[in-house]
């Protein structure tokens, strides 16, 4: 069997497995095959593969839902067969004899494609692959030469985004506000797409089934405030195949609630926390829930949940380092911060009067990065278009880029597909349950947005006066596929 024939017959869906599932050091792998065009025969069956270049395209592996690693076609065939064999032992303890059986069966299948490759070489290659994935997952230096490819370069081979943000909770229900806060900067407030009639439990399960079918590997439960839904645990439990994340204000995260999140195997939780100053936090969220959110952070950490804390920056909370000190004392090790998405409430005077300038954002972030690195914390800035690209290299930060219709998309409370979770006004790209995914993904509107994202200019189309990334203008590429992607907020 030739590699082309193997790819045509076997690269039809995402392959997924988990290494060391009981932890610590869990490594979740989603191997996403490239989009390969085939020329149909007269009887309608797949025929010859059309490859744009002489080289066969790489696959990509997504590690723990956040790190993207290019996998060249030969290694992707080896990894695909290994995953098939490993998954035969799902839920069972694997003995040394089982490991050898897994390897023997893997190599036997791979040698049908690469006849003259020795088992010793295949064993070495597989060890290199798995060592690389572990190094990426653990944040260690990658020793293997895995090559370079930007997600923009890979865009033509994608058939779906890697992450879908599912907005399970609407901002309004039956004409009433449906959130336990009323944030001054809420990007979803007042937008048509955020107040649709919510899908039922069964319909959201249909969404999750279809997301798996089209090859999405990560889902984020968001809103609105997703914890307002009584069936959230059921939906999270149903999404075990995916790498799953919950975006929340943390108010409902009691010890019992966190225990149920663990029971239903949520992979990570992000809590929005504006300030360690009670008065400032409460003012920005429009409610007196500072103590509840702080308790939610503490409870999530005590429960062993993988936690990150996000802080949207403005003039009132620009003393961000003080908030980092507070979070460090609580035991938080991963933080993100962002500029304001100028949609929803952020278009109103109350929010606009509090927005920072790019220079102010840069100064705050520089001090925050210095503090974080000196105190063993990881920090990311997730908003493209605020800061010139050279700044991120100078401060050892990943450059944020717009991922709309490329690395991420969103589904509104009513099931409509939008470019990202902040893009809630105007016509949607289609309805996820009633329209064919291929029609949505290949629509003119979606392709136009994806083409823009693939340029990786470091700009946000939703933000006024978004800066252009100078490193992109000079031809330097950003967002190596082997590094973490920035979030969409």
Q: Can you tell me the distance from the alpha carbon of 449 to that of 374, in angstroms, rounded to the nearest whole number?
A: 39
Measured over the CA atoms of residue 435, residue 439, residue 443 and residue 446, the dihedral's sign is positive
pLDDT digits (tens, 9 = 90+) for 303-342: 999 999 999 999 999 999 999 999 999 999 999 999 877 6
Q: Can you tell me the distance from the alpha carbon of 62 to that of 298, in angstroms, rounded to the nearest whole number?
A: 29
Q: Are 170 and 198 in contact (CB under 8 A)?
A: yes
Q: Which fold, 163-473?
A: TIM Barrel (3.20.20)
Token pair recorded at residue 159: 């058939």
Q: Which residues of the chain have pLDDT under 70?
A: 20-25, 36-55, 91, 147-149, 342-351, 463-489
Task: Output the pLDDT for position 171.
Answer: 81
pLDDT digits (tens, 9 = 90+) for 22-42: 555 677 888 888 775 544 444
Query: Where in the chain do CATH 3.20.20.70 domains reside?
Result: 163-473
Task: Output the pLDDT for position 24.
Answer: 54
Task: Output the pLDDT for position 48.
Answer: 43
| Residues linked to residue 166 through DSSP beta bridges, in sequence order | 221, 411
- pTM here is 0.80
Task: Output the pLDDT for position 439.
Answer: 97
């Amino acid at each position: 069997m030739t590699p082309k024939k193997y790819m045509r017959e076997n690269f039809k869906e995402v392959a997924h497995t988990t290494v060391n599932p009981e932890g610590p050091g869990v490594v979740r792998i989603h191997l996403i095959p490239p989009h390969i065009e085939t020329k149909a025969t007269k009887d309608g069956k797949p025929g010859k593969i059309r490859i744009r270049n002489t080289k066969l395209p790489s696959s990509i592996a997504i590690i723990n839902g956040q790190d993207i690693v290019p996998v060249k076609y030969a290694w992707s065939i080896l990894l695909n067969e290994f995953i098939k064999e490993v998954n035969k032992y799902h839920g069972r303890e694997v003995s040394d004899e089982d490991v050898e059986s897994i390897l023997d069966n893997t190599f036997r299948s791979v040698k049908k494609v690469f006849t003259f490759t020795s088992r010793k070489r295949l064993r070495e290659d597989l060890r290199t692959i798995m060592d690389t994935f572990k190094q990426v997952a653990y944040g260690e230096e990658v020793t293997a030469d895995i090559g370079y490819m930007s997600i923009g370069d890979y865009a033509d081979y994608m058939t779906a985004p890697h992450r879908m943000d599912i907005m399970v909770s609407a901002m309004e229900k039956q004409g009433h506000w449906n959130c336990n806060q009323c944030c001054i900067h809420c990007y979803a407030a007042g937008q048509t797409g955020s107040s649709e009639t919510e899908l039922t439990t069964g319909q959201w399960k249909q969404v999750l089934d279809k997301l798996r079918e089209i090859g999405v590997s990560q889902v984020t439960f968001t809103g609105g405030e997703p914890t307002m839904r009584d069936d959230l645990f059921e939906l999270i439990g149903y999404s075990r195949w995916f790498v799953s994340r919950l975006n929340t204000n943390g108010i409902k995260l009691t010890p019992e609630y966190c225990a149920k999140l663990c029971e239903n195997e949520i992979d990570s939780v992000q809590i929005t926390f504006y300030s360690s100053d009670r008065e400032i936090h409460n003012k920005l969220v429009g409610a007196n829930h500072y103590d509840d959110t702080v308790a939610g952070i503490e409870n999530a950490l005590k429960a062993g949940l993988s936690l990150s804390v996000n802080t949207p920056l403005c003039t009132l909370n620009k003393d961000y380092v003080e908030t980092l000190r507070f979070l460090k004392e609580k035991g938080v090790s991963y933080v993100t911060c962002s500029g304001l998405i100028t949609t929803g409430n952020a278009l109103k005077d109350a929010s606009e009067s509090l927005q920072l300038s790019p220079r102010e954002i840069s100064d705050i972030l520089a001090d925050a990065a210095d503090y974080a690195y000196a105190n063993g914390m990881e920090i990311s800035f997730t908003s493209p278009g605020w800061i010139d690209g050279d700044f991120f290299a100078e401060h050892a930060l990943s450059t944020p880029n717009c991922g709309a219709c490329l690395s991420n998309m969103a589904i509104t409370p009513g099931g409509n597909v939008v470019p990202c979770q902040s893009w809630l006004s105007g016509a949607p790209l289609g309805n996820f349950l009633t329209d064919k995914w291929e029609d949505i993904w290949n629509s003119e509107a979606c392709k136009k947005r994806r083409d823009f994202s693939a340029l990786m200019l470091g700009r946000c189309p939703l933000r006024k006066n978004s800066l252009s990334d100078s490193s992109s203008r000079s031809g330097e590429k950003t967002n190596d596929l082997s590094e973490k992607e920035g979030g969409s907020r």
